Amino acid sequence: MKKILVLLASAFAFISCEKALENQYIITGTVNGVENGKKVFIELRGEAEPVTKDTAIVTDGKFEFKGTATDLDIAFLKIENEMQSLPFILEEGKIEVVFDKDTIQKSKIKGTANNEKFQEFNDKSTVVNKKMMQFQKENMSKMQIAQQSQDTATINKIMDDYKSFQDEMSNVSKDFVKNNPKTFISVLLLENFLMSQSMTPDEVRGYYEKFDKDLLETKSAKNIKKSLDAFIAIAIGKPAPDFSAPSPDGKTISLKESLGKVTIIDFWASWCGPCRIENPNVVALYNEYHDKGLNIIGVSLDKDGAKWKEAIEKDGLTWNHVSNLKFWQDPIAEQYNVKSIPATFILDEKGNIVAKDLRGDELKAKVKELLGE
């Protein structure tokens, strides 16, 4: 009986150890040319800037991290006072890194399934990157001369040739996503395609639906799903989703109460240079057509309420304004899938979306058309 109890105790101890190891990672790295005592950081993507997750110290050209990773995510290794950082996948398991601080492309990562795949993708993309860099080196002076002499034919030829390398890189990424539906790198690549709008939502959905079920539970995959759903909700011809948020004086204003014969939803921020440059054009448009039925509601991605109010006053923006002061995490921006600003949505008198992201003469022409002029 005593032996049985000892065996059971050993079994439970083994199970406890196994559970303790779940989600744990060990990262061992070597780096040349870095003195003892230098810090190495693991940085994660933050809301506005990278967030430091952990710190290690270099000793005899080596460093080590131990910790837990509850969700697959891209992370970055960064050496103290160095500009470049090395991307890798933070995940459970033993990860080995050879860090070349001078040439990141020469760094190597191995040890876990997703990092092995990441290295595979990096090797393929590096081939194209080298060709792009060589092309830039060979054509930079030609481009400068062509720009100075306004030689449009040469400028267009160089731009077209460079675009062929960009297309090649895009195809490398698309092929990787297509052939690797079980690896997290594919999720990251697809997320990038969606954010850069270099794939249509339908194309993205086609790849997304082939992902392994476990990948669909990651935060990045859920972000893709959220964006895809938002694209459907804000498609041209759809009713603009209603929203409400605080105005500069603390009242709550909704889209519904701001609608006119024509309505522009204008996403902007006090810190957005292109938005501020465009504001005089929007002011002129509003002053000319407000009495005929044009309304505007500005949605700011500011964080600082004082700077938001100051910009409204300084730029003479006399229409309705709202903001949750949550930067890119603004729920209205998420609802409308806004990934860059300025961003505009033009609504007809029924509140349906009829156009997006028009500027200058195009915006004015659309407003005139909708007002029947």
3-state secondary structure 127-158: HHHHHHHHHHHHHHHHHHHHHHCCCHHHHHHH
Which of 171, 170, 168, 146 has its CA nearest to residue 157?
146
Q: Which pLDDT value is given to residue 21? A: 56
Q: Which pLDDT value is given to residue 95? A: 93
Do 68 and 59 meet the contact criterion of CB atoms below 8 Å apart?
no
Ranges of CATH 2.60.40.1120 domains, the chain: 19-110
Do 43 and 78 meet the contact criterion of CB atoms below 8 Å apart?
yes
Q: What digits encode the pLDDT tens for the residues 226-242?
A: 889 888 889 899 999 99
User: Residue 14: which pLDDT band, with cuts at 50, 70 and 90?
Assistant: very low
Mean pLDDT, the chain, as a whole number? Answer: 88
Q: Which pLDDT value is given to residue 160? A: 87
User: Residue 201: which pLDDT band, with cuts at 50, 70 and 90?
Assistant: confident
Instruction: Name the residue with tokens 């014969």.
Output: 261
Q: What digits encode the pLDDT tens for the residues 62-98?
A: 999 999 988 899 999 998 888 888 899 999 999 999 9
290 or 2: which carries more pLDDT confidence?
290
- The mean pLDDT of 192-204, rounded to a whole number, is 85
User: Residue 206: which pLDDT band, with cuts at 50, 70 and 90?
Assistant: very high
> In what side-by-side order are the strands of the sheet with 320-322?
320-322, 294-300, 262-268, 343-347, 353-356
Which of 260, 191, 201 has its CA nearest to residue 232?
201
Q: Of 141-145, 193-197, 228-232, 274-278, which gets the smallest average pLDDT?
A: 193-197
Ranges of CATH 3.40.30.10 domains, the chain: 244-370
- The mean pLDDT of 259-267, rounded to a whole number, is 96
How many angstroms separate the CA atoms of 271 and 268, rounded? 9
Q: Superfamily assignment of 19-110 in CATH?
A: Carboxypeptidase-like, regulatory domain (2.60.40.1120)
User: Residue 311: which pLDDT band, with cuts at 50, 70 and 90?
Assistant: very high
pLDDT at 288 over 50: yes
Q: How far is CA 283 from the centre of its chain?
A: 30
Instruction: Name the residue with tokens 């910009």.
Output: 311
Q: Among the CATH numbers 3.40.30.10, 3.40.50.10800, 3.40.50.300, 3.30.470.20, which is that of 244-370?
A: 3.40.30.10
pLDDT at 154 over 90: no
Q: Which pLDDT value is given to residue 315? A: 96
Do 342 and 278 meet the contact criterion of CB atoms below 8 Å apart?
yes
pLDDT at 8 over 80: no
Burial class (CB in 10 A: 0-12, 13-18, 19+), 294: buried
Q: How far is CA 313 from the centre of its chain?
A: 31
Q: What percent of the chain has pLDDT over 70?
A: 94
